[in-house]
Chain A
Amino acid sequence: MLRFENVCFGYRGEDVMADVSFEMVEGEFTALMGENGAGKSTLCRLGNGLLKPMSGRVMVGGHNTKHVKTSSLAALVGFLFQNPDRQLCSGTVRGEIMLGLENTGFDKATRLKRCDMMLEMFGLDGTRDPFGLSRGERQKVALASVLAPKPGLLILDEPTTGLDYRECVTIMDIISRLNEEGTTILMVSHDMEVVGDFAKRALVLSGGHIVGDGPVREIMRDRAVMESSSLLPAQIPSLAMRIGDLGAAFGSAFTIDDMVAAVERSRDCSGMRRAAAS
């Protein structure tokens, strides 16, 4: 779906991305992590063709981004920016979603159908003025208009920043549902709890290099990788690493459920031991 081959990129002689290679297959949910200035935004922009690599290749669904216009990649790659207000420019929510469709060459009937589908899926009122909505709702409108052309790959640049908890959960639920239906997802996020809950794979960037690539559960427990990019793992895995001496079940717990299960198992075991002893 998305493949970086020895990609290099820089602004004004400064390297931002040095020899980056990785591949994402269809249906993946990958989190992109790293400090500010590590090159996350650059990587995202290379992924949808807003930036073209200086050397190496970026392939999106079989197209080399160097040979395709960025605007025509939009049907293939949905890109949600951190600030939805930069994207919204229509007087109504419906108009906003239709705008996303107009530029991608569907026929009128299909466009209307897809627009209605989006309104229903997101629970939005098509007649509202997007600028009168709350930040979380505006984020939803922006996401709906990006998703309307049904892109196979979705790139999200900090989709939950600035949202309250409930809005965050709503947006993430929609994104994870899309992923279950087969959309490939690349998400930049600073929120380790969100990454831990939703992403399957993690890419860690530091100084323009990929310093970690693997399942989220393993990457979060990899002290060397996390420390080198000054990231803190989510709370439960952090706790698990502190209490590894209590037993493997405690040490490897990743969720609250794992932790509770570990306690219950240890209680049952001791119960059985006591029963055997008596």
Chain B
Amino acid sequence: MISIKNLEFRYGDSEDPALRDITLDVESGDFLGIIGPSGAGKSTLTYAMSGVIPHHYKGDFYGSVEIGGLDTVQSSPEAIARHVGSVFQDVEGQLLASVVEDEILFGLENFGIPREEIEERIEYALSSSGISDLRCRTIASLSGGQKQKVAIASITALRPEVIVLDEPTGELDPQSSRRVFETLRELNHTYGVTVVIVEQKIMMLCEFARRMAVMEAGRIILEGPVREVLSHGERLEEAGVNIPRVAALSRRLREAGLYRGNTPIDLAEAETMMREVAADAAF
């Protein structure tokens, strides 16, 4: 779906490249989490996927980014937007209307979606984000989590194959963050939308993402299925990425020669690990 080859990008006003030698393939239907310290180039990478670079922010662009066979440098931002939808961290900033329904209409109207299709698309967008009841509410009256879902719905209405999100839960509390992730999972499972998300909350990625990419200083240093990436505890720590406590625990047990199995990524797996370890120890 997304194919990035040897991408290097340097913003016009800066000395150092923000992205260096990025090669990444995202397959259709994937759920990819991107994590890394601030300044590692995560946002720039999402910009590369949505065509914001090199179209909105200018700079030196080497290598290639293809979205569903479309080269982003040669295509207009609007043409790219038909394949990739973007959601940003600043919830307030990206919403442009005062009523939920109008927010969703905005993109549909602009892209000239046929009249008879519009109602169906609005309903699809609202129900897939679980906010059908908010249709006529003013955006000012919504909570942060609800606003972020409206932003997601305004994108899904356009039926992009990929949705790219840049820390959409950065300012939300744990319950609201979880609900945003549940919405994304629903889109991914039921509607087959490919999800690429930049996120600091590693536990959320462990629970919801299928693959994970770790960035450091403009490069992707690790990429693969979540469990596999988490087994590189030391490398992650060095890059300044937190790992879930249960994964850290398995690392400690392994170092002490008490455990040899897989790295657990959630509580259920950690429970299995501990029962195994305790049984071994008592033997």
Interface residue? A11 (CB, 8 A): no
Out of B173, B200, B278, name the residue touching A190 (CB < 8 Å): B173
Rounded to whole Å, the gap between the CB of A187 and the closest CB of chain B is 15
Given known pairs A35-B173, A260-B252, the reply for A243 and B38 (CB within 8 Å) is: no
Rounded to whole Å, the gap between the CB of B89 and the closest CB of chain A is 9
Chain B residues 262 to 280 lying within 8 A of chain A, measured CB to CB, are: 267, 270-271, 274-275, 277-278
What residues of chain B lie closer than 8 Å to A136, measured between beta carbons? 38
Interface residue? A234 (CB, 8 A): yes
What residues of chain B lie closer than 8 Å to A190, measured between beta carbons? 173-174
Interface residue? A45 (CB, 8 A): no
Beta-carbon contact of B274 and A239 below 8 Å: yes
Rounded to whole Å, the gap between the CB of A173 and the closest CB of chain B is 14
What residues of chain A lie closer than 8 Å to B244, measured between beta carbons? 235
What residues of chain B lie closer than 8 Å to A266, measured between beta carbons? 278, 281-282
Chain B residues 231 to 270 lying within 8 A of chain A, measured CB to CB, are: 240-242, 244-246, 248-249, 252-253, 256, 258, 267, 270
Chain A residues 156 to 199 lying within 8 A of chain B, measured CB to CB, are: 161-168, 190, 193
In the complex, A239→B240 CA distance in Å? 25
What residues of chain B lie closer than 8 Å to A234, measured between beta carbons? 245
What residues of chain A lie closer than 8 Å to B270, measured between beta carbons? 235, 239
Rounded to whole Å, the gap between the CB of B177 and the closest CB of chain A is 9
Interface residue? B190 (CB, 8 A): no
Given known pairs A36-B175, A167-B38, the reply for A193 and B245 (CB within 8 Å) is: yes
What residues of chain B lie closer than 8 Å to A223, measured between beta carbons? none
Which chain A residue shows the least CB distance to B258?
A263
Rounded to whole Å, the gap between the CB of B217 and the closest CB of chain A is 13
Beta-carbon contact of A243 and B267 below 8 Å: no
Beta-carbon contact of A259 and B38 below 8 Å: no
Out of B171, B252, B283, name the residue touching A256 (CB < 8 Å): B252
Interface residue? B224 (CB, 8 A): no
Interface string of A222-263 (1 = CB under 8 A from B): 000000001010111011001100110010000010011001
Which chain A residue shows the least CB distance to B255?
A260
Beta-carbon contact of B171 and A238 below 8 Å: no
Interface string of A118-136 (1 = CB under 8 A from B): 0000000000000000111
Given known pairs A134-B38, A162-B170, A270-B283, the reply for A239 and B267 (CB within 8 Å) is: yes
Rounded to whole Å, the gap between the CB of B39 and the closest CB of chain A is 6
Chain B residues 131 to 182 lying within 8 A of chain A, measured CB to CB, are: 143-144, 170-171, 173-176
Interface residue? B37 (CB, 8 A): yes
What residues of chain B lie closer than 8 Å to A15, measured between beta carbons? none
Interface residue? A102 (CB, 8 A): no
In the complex, A187→B245 CA distance in Å? 22
Beta-carbon contact of A36 and B176 below 8 Å: yes
Which chain A residue shows the least CB distance to B245?
A235
Interface residue? A267 (CB, 8 A): yes
Rounded to whole Å, the gap between the CB of B256 and the closest CB of chain A is 6
Out of B174, B203, B275, name the residue touching A246 (CB < 8 Å): B275
Beta-carbon contact of B241 and A165 below 8 Å: yes
Given known pairs A165-B241, A260-B253, A263-B281, the reply for A232 and B174 (CB within 8 Å) is: yes
Interface string of B27-43 (1 = CB under 8 A from A): 00000000011110000
Beta-carbon contact of B38 and A267 below 8 Å: no
Beta-carbon contact of A256 and B248 below 8 Å: yes
- Which of A167, A247, A267, A270 gathers most chain B CB within 10 Å? A267
Rounded to whole Å, the gap between the CB of A30 and the closest CB of chain B is 19
Beta-carbon contact of B173 and A36 below 8 Å: yes
In the complex, A163→B200 CA distance in Å? 8
Beta-carbon contact of A256 and B245 below 8 Å: yes
Interface residue? A23 (CB, 8 A): no
Rounded to whole Å, the gap between the CB of B33 and the closest CB of chain A is 14
What residues of chain B lie closer than 8 Å to A256, measured between beta carbons? 245, 248-249, 252
Given known pairs A246-B275, A263-B281, the reply for A164 and B171 (CB within 8 Å) is: no
Q: A165-B200, A236-B246, A260-B258 are in contact. List 16 more A-B contacts (CB 8 A).
A: A162-B171, A167-B37, A230-B175, A235-B203, A235-B244, A235-B270, A236-B245, A239-B246, A246-B275, A256-B249, A256-B252, A260-B256, A263-B253, A266-B281, A267-B282, A270-B281
Interface residues of A (CB under 8 A from B): 35-36, 134-136, 161-168, 190, 193, 230, 232, 234-236, 238-239, 242-243, 246-247, 250, 256, 259-260, 263-264, 266-267, 269-270
User: Could you list some 18 contacts between A and B, CB below 8 A?
Assistant: A36-B143, A134-B38, A161-B171, A163-B38, A164-B37, A166-B37, A167-B37, A190-B174, A230-B175, A235-B203, A235-B267, A239-B270, A239-B271, A242-B267, A243-B274, A256-B248, A260-B253, A266-B278
Interface residues of B (CB under 8 A from A): 36-39, 143-144, 170-171, 173-176, 200, 203, 240-242, 244-246, 248-249, 252-253, 256, 258, 267, 270-271, 274-275, 277-278, 281-283
The 10 A-B residue pairs whose C-beta atoms are closest, nearest first, are A267-B281, A165-B242, A166-B240, A235-B245, A164-B37, A266-B281, A36-B173, A164-B38, A246-B278, A270-B282
